């Protein structure tokens, strides 16, 4: 049995550094959550029911966040519905139907994944919003935000799907061939079902990323605090609201923004735990 003390000095130093980095990350996250709790908890206790109302007028003491909570969910869910099928199908096609194209396409996808979100937002503001405006004004809308977020989600969702398919044991493919299944049938009946927990876990994480995105949605969604009546209506998300108002917010207004940040962290935590559970199922 290999013990830590029997490892070379370089390996022990590496293990120590990794533990310190992990501890530091946990400490930073704990500090962020603690600050948000300390700032927001008194407000949530006294005004907790008020955040589910529809009126956001901090100057008059109205802190209803329901339209912004709905806006965040609507924009992110539509983005996920647009991006996930494209990413999954493209990853499967590259791996099993066009292996020669896989490496150059994945290189481009990795480049897309590294593009800053503000660049996507700028493209959406200058190209996508005017294009939508030609059909249904004003252009800056729920749909524009979802399309930009979908474009941001596709690269990482594709990479996650490709990695999940690549980790499948070769025996699944051999079994499909032995049953004389076509490549489409093998993919549909054997490979994708086996990789589904890992794929869904990765997609759930991308939903969390979409929910927390700020600059891109701020630039293309219109930033109107309202319940959208169609995909062409302007919306405001919680993240965009924090970015727009934190600079001048004071008193309860500022505390309400801390409360919205705490709400976002809580939702992200739930999504992360769901992703862990799904990934655990894929290894079970």
Classify domain 51-283 by CATH number: 1.10.3720.10
- State the chain's mean pLDDT as an integer: 88
**What is the C-alpha separation between 214 and 114, in angstroms, rounded?**
16
Instruction: Give the pLDDT confidence score for residue 1 in this predicted structure.
Output: 46
**What is the C-alpha separation between 213 and 73, in angstroms, rounded?**
12
Nearest to 257 by CA among 216, 214, 217: 214
Tens digits of residue pLDDT in 212-238: 899 999 999 999 999 999 999 999 999
**What is the C-alpha separation between 68 and 267, in angstroms, rounded?**
14
- CB-CB neighbours of 87 under 10 Å: 26
Report the Cα 281 to chain-centroid distance in Å.
21
Q: C-alpha dihedral over 110, 168, 272, 17, to 10 degrees?
A: -70
Instruction: Give the pLDDT confidence score for residue 51 in this predicted structure.
Output: 85
The helix/strand/coil state of 212 is helix
Instruction: Give the pLDDT confidence score for residue 52 in this predicted structure.
Output: 87
Q: Are strands 62-63 and 56-57 parallel, antiparallel or unpaired?
A: antiparallel
Residue, of 235 and 180, whose pLDDT is higher: 235
From 48-52, 123-127, 153-157, 224-228, the region with the lowest mean pLDDT: 48-52
Tell me the domain boundaries of the chain.
4-50, 51-283
**What is the C-alpha separation between 126 and 23, in angstroms, rounded?**
43
Instruction: Give the pLDDT confidence score for residue 196 in this predicted structure.
Output: 87
pTM across the whole model: 0.86
Instruction: Give the pLDDT confidence score for residue 6 in this predicted structure.
Output: 64
**What is the C-alpha separation between 159 and 113, in angstroms, rounded?**
9
Q: What average pLDDT does the segment 87-115 reach? A: 91
**What is the C-alpha separation between 133 and 175, in angstroms, rounded?**
52
**What is the C-alpha separation between 199 and 88, in angstroms, rounded?**
8
Is residue 88 within 8 Å of residue 159, measured between CB atoms? Answer: no
């Amino acid at each position: 049995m290999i013990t830590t003390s029997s490892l070379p000095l370089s390996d022990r130093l590496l293990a120590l550094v990794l533990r310190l980095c992990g501890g530091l990350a946990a400490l930073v996250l704990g500090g962020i959550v603690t600050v948000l709790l300390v700032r927001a908890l008194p407000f949530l206790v006294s005004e907790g029911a008020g955040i589910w109302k529809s009126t956001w007028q901090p100057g008059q003491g109205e802190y209803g966040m329901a339209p912004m909570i709905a806006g965040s969910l609507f924009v992110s869910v539509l983005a996920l519905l647009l991006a996930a099928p494209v990413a999954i199908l493209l990853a499967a096609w590259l791996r099993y139907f066009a292996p020669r194209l896989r490496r150059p396409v994945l290189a481009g996808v990795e480049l897309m994944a590294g593009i800053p979100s503000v660049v996507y937002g700028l493209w959406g503001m200058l190209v996508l919003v005017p294009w939508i405006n030609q059909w249904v004004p004003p252009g800056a809308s729920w749909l524009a935000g979802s399309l930009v977020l979908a474009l941001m989600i596709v690269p990482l969702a594709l990479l996650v799907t490709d990695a999940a398919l690549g980790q499948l044991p070769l025996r699944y493919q051999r079994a499909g061939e032995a049953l004389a299944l076509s490549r489409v049938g093998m993919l549909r009946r054997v490979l994708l079902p086996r990789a589904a927990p890992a794929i869904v876990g990765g997609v759930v994480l991308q939903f969390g990323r979409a929910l927390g995105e700020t600059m891109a949605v701020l630039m293309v969604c219109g930033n109107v605090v309202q319940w959208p009546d169609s995909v062409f209506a302007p919306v405001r998300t919680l993240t965009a609201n924090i970015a727009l108002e934190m600079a001048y917010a004071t008193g309860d207004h500022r505390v309400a923004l801390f409360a919205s940040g705490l709400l976002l962290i809580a939702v992200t935590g739930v999504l992360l735990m769901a992703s862990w559970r799904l990934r655990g199922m894929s290894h079970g």
